Every structure is written in C-alpha cells, then in structure tokens.
C-alpha cells in the first residue's frame, strides 16, 4: 500500500502546484474575490469526506436564528438541478441535496438555499437577510467571507497531510492560514493530551489562530422516519445503512449499546435505487431476530425518505440517529459563540 502511495506522489505534486498557483492568484488579486456588507460565515474543510460540517452549521444556526434573519447557502452536492434554488420541506434530496434538506427539515423557519456559485447565491439572499451561513465554501475563493471556520478530522491530524491523489486533502493544509477559527472534530474519548498537543503544534503553525479547539460528537435519541422517538437496547439487532464518508465513529458508538450490527456501506451522498432497496430488504430479512430495526444517519434519512423506499419498508422500523457538535468545556463553547455573535453584530451595524 505504501509503495502504491509513493507511485502517486508525482501526481500529488502536480495537483498541489495547481492548487498553490490558484490560491496565490487570489491572494495577489489577479483573480478577484468579492466581499459583502452582510455577515457571511463559512464552514469548511480542506480534506474530502466528513469532518462534521453539518453539525457545526447547525450549531451556528441555533445560535443565530432567534437574533437575526438567517439563511444558509450550500452547493447542494448530488442534486440533479442547477443554479439558485430555495429549499422547501417538500423538496427532495435529488432536487436540493441531502444536507440542505436536513437543515430545512430541522429548522423550517429559516431560509435554506443552494447554489453552486456562492456569490450569486449571496446576491439572491442579501437584500432580505441579515446573516448568511455557507456550508462547505472554504475553497470558494471568489468569496471573501467575514468569518471562516475550518474543520479537521482528529484522525487525519495524526497522519501526514498529503493532497490528492496520494492523500485525501483537496487543498493545501497551509491554507489554514485563512481561517479565523480552527476546530478539530470527532475527537475520541480516549484521546491523549500528548496527541492533542502534537495536533495543536502541527495546526497552529502557518495559521492566524491563537488556539486549536477540540470537539466531539454528541449523539441524540433515535428518531423514526415518521418523527417518533425509538429506544434500543442490548437485545436490539441493527441493519445499519450509511452513505457517509466516515461511518466508523457511529459504529463504535453503537457497538456497546446493541446486540449486533450488520453494516451496509454506500458511498457518500449515495442515491438509493431499486436494486439497493431490494438488497436492503433481503439483508434485513436474513437477520433472525424479533428486535431488529434499520438504522441510518440523519443525512442518509433525507435520501431514503422517498415513496419507493417507504412503500416497501412501511411495516419495518426505520430510524436515524441525530448528532451534534460538543465542545470540551463550556467556556470554550461560549468563546466560540461570542466570536460569531460579535462578527454578526459588528457587520450588521456597519452595513
């Protein structure tokens, strides 16, 4: 495996040079970035895959939605539509993407929108909103946001940070210097202080932040597709469906809480088709238990909440497990909240 990675090193060098050149063109204003008077908060990462952008975006929504007229703006990855689009609770994941649909279902009173051109999206929203939260827009250099939050997955920080295709970074790790706040997410419970100090020293170099903030995943109560709560026990057998980048933390969370887990893993943002539905049903029927359920993530639930899927599984309990971002200490959470609020208040007063 190491030998194969070494073979990819020249391609990573070429890719890295292209990305470095693009970033310098924006830094020297040869390629232009746009700024807006309205507070724009970017949540992003440098690697591909799940670093917890959605829970962080939801954390900001909860903080701001009762104080400002808030809108979220996402690309809408995996959608079959193009251009600017407002998300409705009646929308489908195929129309708007699974994460924006999750935001709208969770916070129906705020504006949720999608647009691959973030500047165009902002210009459609700014006259009727006070704050715009942009999910996964750190690489969108055409926008110069008011505040940028950059997320790193804990495990990725312990390994060498190579760009594609040798590694899993889509942008150069040195670009963290553009972030106003850096969070290390999915910190395991058994993380050592030595590991954390290593990560701090690694990330704080070539960055403008004063401290690295560690966060964990907080799991909520199971909720059925129909919105009811559901309990599991050590006697429960689970067929776990995931179409996310890194399901390992979820599996580790469930292992000590249930009797058994059968895992069907799909690629990130996978759109379930008829063959998938058939295979899922067959797999579920092979589990010899009276206490079995289908469990998925909140993001995946947006893509399986379709008439085709629910028609076949109408008598089978299907639930998802919500997650939230959790900070190591309450004072750290308050510090993050204060930074976000002060940015929004200052920008609103200046505009």
pLDDT digits (tens, 9 = 90+) for 215-272: 999 999 999 988 899 999 999 999 999 999 889 899 999 999 999 999 999 998 898 8
Domains and CATH numbers, the chain: 39-218+327-350 (3.40.50.300), 221-321 (3.40.50)
Please give the chain's pLDDT, 351 residues, in tens.
566 777 899 999 999 999 999 999 999 999 999 999 999 999 999 998 789 999 999 999 999 999 999 999 999 998 999 999 999 999 999 999 999 999 999 999 999 999 999 999 999 999 999 999 999 999 999 999 999 999 999 999 999 999 999 999 999 999 999 999 999 999 999 999 999 999 999 999 889 998 999 999 999 999 998 889 999 999 999 999 999 988 989 999 999 999 999 999 999 889 888 899 899 999 999 999 999 999 999 999 999 888 888 888 888 889 999 999 999 999 999 999 999 999 999 887 876
Three-state secondary structure of the chain: CHHHHHHHHHHHHHHHHHHHHHHHHHHCCCCCCECCCCCEEEEEECECCCCCHHHHHHHHHHHHCCCCCEEEEECCCCCCCCCCEECCCCCCHHHHCHHHHHHHHHCCCCEEEECCCHHHHHHHHHHHCCEEEEECCCCCCCECCCEEEEEEEHHHHCCCCCECCCCCECCCHHHHHHCCEEEEECCCCCCCHHHHHHHHHHHHCCCCCCCEEEEEEEECCEEECCCCEECCCCCCEEEEEECCCCCHHHHHHHHCCCCEEEEEECCCCCCCCHHHHHHHHHHHHCCCCCCEEEEEEHHHHHHHCCHHHHHHCCCCCEEEECEEEEECCHHHHHHHHHHHHHHHHHHHHHC
Tens of pLDDT, residue by residue over 123-163, are: 999 999 999 999 999 999 999 999 999 999 999 999 999 99
């Amino acid at each position: 495996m190491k030998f194969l990675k070494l073979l990819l090193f020249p391609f990573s060098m070429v890719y890295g040079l292209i990305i470095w050149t693009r970033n310098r063109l924006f830094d020297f204003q040869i390629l232009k970035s746009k700024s807006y008077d309205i507070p724009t908060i970017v949540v992003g990462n440098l690697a591909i895959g799940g670093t917890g952008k959605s829970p962080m975006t939801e954390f900001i929504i909860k903080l701001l939605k009762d104080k400002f007229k808030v809108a979220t703006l996402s690309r809408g990855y995996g959608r079959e539509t193009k251009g600017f689009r407002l998300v409705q609770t009646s929308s489908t994941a195929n129309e708007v993407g699974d994460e924006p649909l999750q935001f709208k279902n969770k916070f129906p009173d705020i504006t949720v929108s999608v647009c691959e051109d973030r500047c165009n999206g902002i210009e459609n929203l700014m006259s009727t909103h006070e704050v715009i939260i942009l999910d996964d827009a750190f690489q969108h250099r055409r926008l110069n946001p008011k505040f940028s939050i950059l997320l790193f997955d804990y495990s990725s920080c312990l390994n060498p940070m190579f760009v594609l295709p040798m590694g899993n970074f889509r942008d150069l790790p040195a670009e963290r210097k553009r972030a106003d706040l850096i969070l290390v997410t999915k910190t395991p419970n058994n993380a050592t202080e030595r590991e954390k100090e290593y990560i701090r020293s690694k990330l704080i170099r070539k960055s403008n932040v004063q401290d690295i903030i560690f966060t964990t995943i907080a799991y909520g109560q199971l909720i059925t597709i129909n919105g009811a709560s559901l309990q599991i026990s050590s006697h429960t057998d689970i067929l776990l469906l995931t179409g996310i980048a890194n399901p390992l933390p979820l599996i580790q969370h469930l292992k000590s809480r249930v009797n058994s887990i059968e895992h069907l893993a799909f690629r990130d943002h996978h759109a379930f088709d008829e063959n998938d539905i058939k295979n899922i049903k067959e797999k579920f029927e092979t589990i010899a238990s009276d206490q079995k359920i289908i469990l998925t993530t909140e993001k995946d639930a947006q893509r399986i909440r379709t008439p085709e899927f629910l028609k076949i599984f109408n008598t089978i309990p299907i639930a998802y497990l919500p997650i939230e971002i959790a900070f190591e200490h309450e004072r750290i959470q308050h510090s993050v909240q204060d930074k976000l609020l002060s940015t929004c208040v200052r920008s609103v007063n200046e505009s």
